[in-house]
Amino acid sequence: MKSYDPAQIRNVGLYGHQGSGKTSVGEAIVFLGKATNRLASVVEGNSNFDFEPEEVRRKTSMSTAVGYAEWGRNLVNVIDAPGDSNFAAEAVMSLVAADLGVIVVSAVDGVQVGTGKAADMLAEAGLPRAVFVTKIDKERSDFHKVLADLQAALGPAVVPLALPIGAESSFSGVVDLLALEARTYAGGPNGVKGQPPADMADRIKAAREPLVEKLAEQDDELMMKYLDGGELSADDLKVCLGKGLKSGGVIPVLVGNATGGTGVDLLLDVLATYGPSPLERTSFKTRKGDVAAELKADPSGSFVGYVFKTIVDLQTGKITVFRVVSGSVPAEGFVNVSTAAKERFGGLVKLLGKKTEAVPAGVCGDILAVVKLKETRSGNTLAADAASGELVTTPLPAHCISYAVKPKSQGDEDKVSAAVQRLVDEDVGLGLSRDEESKEFLLHGLGQSHIQTAVDKLKRKFGVDVEMKLPRIAYRETIRGSAKMVEGKHKKQTGGRGQFGVCYIDMEPQPRGTGFVFEDAIFGGAIPRQFIPAIEKGMRDATTRGVVAGYPVVDLKIRLVDGKYHDVDSDARSFEMAGSRGFKAAFKLCKPIILEPIMNLTILIPDESLGDIMGDVSSRRGRIMGTDAAGRMTVVKAQAPLSEVQTYASDLRSMTSDRGSFSMETSHYEELPPQLAEKLVSEAKLEEEEE
């Protein structure tokens, strides 16, 4: 591969709704750029970008993949981000790598949820946007309707730069509205230039006028010339398109058949000619401790790189994919400023999916990879200078679902945590924690299929077979009634020295959140002072594994009021036992109940879903605390028991056709309704019998 100047590089991300054709557009780009010798296909399972077996099987992207095309004088790096919101963290991570986002929209399905999400995400990241309309060759494709919907959804910056020639099965090419030139595709993705069809003259005129006006708006001087009735030259229009694309004033729309690879050559021409180079990217933000700074892409500056992707490949090993943010990659290695590890590497490579090709140098702005780094994961900043700050990037979406993962064979616990950690290195949208109370490993993610895919990968990549189940809920036990003078007695007389201790206690409920209160109210030496801590210890130990269903006991008060002892046989151990027995006996007398965790939910939904969501929340034993308008969306604040919302991430997605999102946190504990409590108690009894 020849070497490129940073100004010739174009970093292009593909974003949009799942199934719109992003990966197919990516395949067409790398085929046109001769990085591959055949046009690969998602459906046939030979896609360069969807290379993970889980992706091949389900025929959809689940992680970000990169490729490249050499196009004329330019090197176009392609970043194919997954559209499925389960894998949204991957798309967010890729925003540092891309200098422009192509929003891919199907001409059959039109503007979808993922279209709007992609457009918003790119706008928030401040990246220029273009649109590529796919599937124009399919039945019921409608370019003009898609265009109108795009204008309604993304605003007046949307203008067509191309028109399709023919439609559905008769689609044969595109008209470049700027050059007023047709490209027809007889047998492959390389268009043959020619005159636009004569019968399209009116349509071309009708589309070109608003385009020229939109372009003129991008430059004050040219706008004056245009308003004064002057003709804008081809060069004038080019200047305007470059300016408008980079400023966001123009969102050009192109069209084609992605799987046939047609129309994509014009997209590449537009990106190469008008798209931003890495040097034009407005500065990156960095942070070191409390000190924030700005970093400009500077080819002769000190090297800084950002790892936006890690692939664990069984043959190659760990592949670290990064963008050269500034400077060029030092051959002698770099420091990972996020982990403070010095990293050396064998050689720099360009990646096409998981295929590597060695390159001699890593220039500013390029997207490259190295293999077998030791202490580097996605999200890390690499630098020549250990004192460099870390890159500040778009925050990842918050985890909204958790599953407990348990090895299928016992004794594999250590293997599980090590393997899951490697998986989290690969996909930073996942999280791992351990629940100290239940001793479960919890895998956190963005949806059920996110976690399911992680579990599949654990087995395939690391040979760790786990089962996933909903995490054990941290119920609590407490009391509603009170009792007085309950006896706790421990007495044993089997030869030699005996054991003896008796305590009398009162028990009463306490307000939520109090925990366990112990009061020593013994007067006059009914029990020698030195044994009182042992009684308290016996009781505290008893609270950790509750009396009715095995959950920790909270929110009650014990008063130690009386006791008996024996000069010879009494010892600390005997009083510990007596304390524990007294506690359990009293607890049973005090109308025990089970408490369940109640969550605060913040749910963001489209207005029209409000009725459904409110009904659904109450069917989950929840209550609405309030609603707020947020643009075209509504924020619903609600409370609901954790046991009813453990899979809410997936449920909300299907109730709102993927438009809703939510976050939750624990609020407080409330009494579990009696019939549910009974069920828990009998489950606990069964478990105990099994043990």
291 binds, among ligand GDP, Mg ion, none (CB under 5 to 8 A by kind): none
Shortest separation between residue 44's beta carbon and ligand GDP, angstroms: 9
Chain centroid, CA 607 distance in Å: 24
Shortest separation between residue 76's beta carbon and Mg ion, angstroms: 18
Q: What backbone phi and psi angles, to 5 degrees, belong to 545?
A: -130, 100
| Segment lying near ligand GDP (by CB under 6 A), choices 135-143, 316-324, 380-388, 434-442 | 135-143
262 binds, among ligand GDP, Mg ion, none (CB under 5 to 8 A by kind): none
Beta bridge pairs of residue 274: none
Single residue of 129, 135, 183, 476 touching ligand GDP by CB under 6 A:
135
| Segment lying near ligand GDP (by CB under 6 A), choices 129-137, 147-155, 164-172, 311-319 | 129-137
21 binds, among ligand GDP, Mg ion, none (CB under 5 to 8 A by kind): ligand GDP
Residue 61 near Mg ion by CB under 5 A: yes
| Segment lying near ligand GDP (by CB under 6 A), choices 130-138, 225-233, 353-361, 536-544 | 130-138
43 binds, among ligand GDP, Mg ion, none (CB under 5 to 8 A by kind): ligand GDP
Shortest separation between residue 443's beta carbon and ligand GDP, angstroms: 25
Residue 259 near Mg ion by CB under 5 A: no
CA torsion 402→404→408→413, rounded to 10°?
110
Amino acid letter at 480? R
The number of residues that bind Mg ion (CB under 5 A) is: 3
Shortest separation between residue 255's beta carbon and ligand GDP, angstroms: 9
> CA 106 to CA 343: how far, in whole Å?
43
> CA 200 to CA 212: how far, in whole Å?
18
For Mg ion, the closer of residues 61 and 112 by Cβ is 61
For Mg ion, the closer of residues 58 and 225 by Cβ is 58
| Segment lying near ligand GDP (by CB under 6 A), choices 254-262, 543-551, 640-648, 665-673 | 254-262
Do 242 and 269 meet the contact criterion of CB atoms below 8 Å apart?
A: no
Do 111 and 138 meet the contact criterion of CB atoms below 8 Å apart?
A: no
Single residue of 134, 320, 639, 656 touching ligand GDP by CB under 6 A:
134
Question: How do strand 592-606 and strand 291-295 relate by DSSP bridges?
Answer: unpaired
Residue 20 near Mg ion by CB under 5 A: no
Shortest separation between residue 96's beta carbon and ligand GDP, angstroms: 21
For Mg ion, the closer of residues 61 and 86 by Cβ is 61
168: left (phi over 0), alpha (psi -120 to 50) or beta: left
The CA–CA distances, whole Å, from 474 to 108, 237, 433, 675, 690 equal 48, 64, 15, 18, 21
| Segment lying near ligand GDP (by CB under 6 A), choices 4-12, 257-265, 280-288, 669-677 | 257-265
| Segment lying near Mg ion (by CB under 5 A), choices 21-29, 219-227, 409-417, 445-453 | 21-29
**According to CB under 5 A, which residues from 289 to 348 bind Mg ion?**
none
Shortest separation between residue 59's beta carbon and ligand GDP, angstroms: 7
Residue 47 near Mg ion by CB under 5 A: no
The CA–CA distances, whole Å, from 380 to 300, 408, 443, 662 equal 22, 33, 21, 27
> CA 124 to CA 635: how far, in whole Å?
20
> CA 264 to CA 109: how far, in whole Å?
19
For ligand GDP, the closer of residues 42 and 507 by Cβ is 42
98: left (phi over 0), alpha (psi -120 to 50) or beta: beta
Residue 138 near ligand GDP by CB under 6 A: yes
Q: Is 170 exposed, middle or buried (0-12, 13-18, 19+ CB in 10 A)?
A: exposed
> CA 182 to CA 194: how far, in whole Å?
5
Shortest separation between residue 40's beta carbon and Mg ion, angstroms: 12
Residue 42 near ligand GDP by CB under 6 A: yes
| Segment lying near ligand GDP (by CB under 6 A), choices 133-141, 466-474, 517-525, 580-588 | 133-141
Shortest separation between residue 258's beta carbon and ligand GDP, angstroms: 4
The residue with tokens 């591959």 is: 36
Single residue of 137, 269, 390, 440 touching ligand GDP by CB under 6 A:
137
DSSP 632-648: TEEEEEEEEEGGGSTTH
**Tokens, residue 580:** 């524990």
Q: At what angle do helices 220-227 and 234-247 cross, to 10 degrees?
A: 130
20 binds, among ligand GDP, Mg ion, none (CB under 5 to 8 A by kind): ligand GDP
- How does DSSP classify residue 95? G
**Tokens, residue 130:** 């273009």
Single residue of 6, 13, 19, 164 touching ligand GDP by CB under 6 A:
19
For Mg ion, the closer of residues 11 and 61 by Cβ is 61
SS (H, E, C) 535-593: HHHHHHHHHHCCCCCCCCECCEEEEEEEEECCCCCCCHHHHHHHHHHHHHHHHHHCCEE
Residue 23 near Mg ion by CB under 5 A: yes
Single residue of 43, 291, 340, 387 touching ligand GDP by CB under 6 A:
43
The number of residues that bind ligand GDP (CB under 6 A) is: 20
Please tell me whether residue 245 adopts helix, strand or coil conformation. Answer: helix
Shortest separation between residue 61's beta carbon and ligand GDP, angstroms: 5
| Segment lying near ligand GDP (by CB under 6 A), choices 18-26, 144-152, 600-608, 641-649 | 18-26
Residue 117 near ligand GDP by CB under 6 A: no
Single residue of 8, 11, 20, 376 touching ligand GDP by CB under 6 A:
20
Q: What angle do CA 625, 631, 633 make, to 5 degrees?
A: 50
| Segment lying near Mg ion (by CB under 5 A), choices 55-63, 106-114, 365-373, 622-630 | 55-63
| Segment lying near ligand GDP (by CB under 6 A), choices 16-24, 233-241, 620-628, 653-661 | 16-24
CA torsion 607→611→616→622, rounded to 10°?
90
Chain centroid, CA 255 distance in Å: 30
379 binds, among Mg ion, ligand GDP, none (CB under 5 to 8 A by kind): none
Of the candidates 151, 145, 101, which has an alpha carbon nearest to the alpha carbon of residue 121? 101
> CA 179 to CA 175: how far, in whole Å?
9
Single residue of 6, 13, 33, 83 touching ligand GDP by CB under 6 A:
83
Amino acid letter at 509? P
Shortest separation between residue 48's beta carbon and Mg ion, angstroms: 11
**What percent of the residues of the chain are helix, what percent strand, and what percent coil, each to the nearest 5?**
30, 30, 35
Residue 259 near ligand GDP by CB under 6 A: yes
For ligand GDP, the closer of residues 18 and 184 by Cβ is 18
Residue 61 near ligand GDP by CB under 6 A: yes
Shortest separation between residue 146's beta carbon and ligand GDP, angstroms: 12
Q: Which distant-in-sequence residues (6+ apart) come within 8 Å of 622 by Cβ?
A: 601, 638, 639, 640, 641, 644, 645
Shortest separation between residue 329's beta carbon and ligand GDP, angstroms: 30
Residue 257 near ligand GDP by CB under 6 A: yes
**Residue closest to ligand GDP when measured from CB atoms:** 21
Contacts to ligand GDP by CB under 6 A:
18-24, 42-43, 60-61, 83, 104, 134-135, 137-138, 257-259
By CB under 5 A, name the binding residues for Mg ion. 22-23, 61
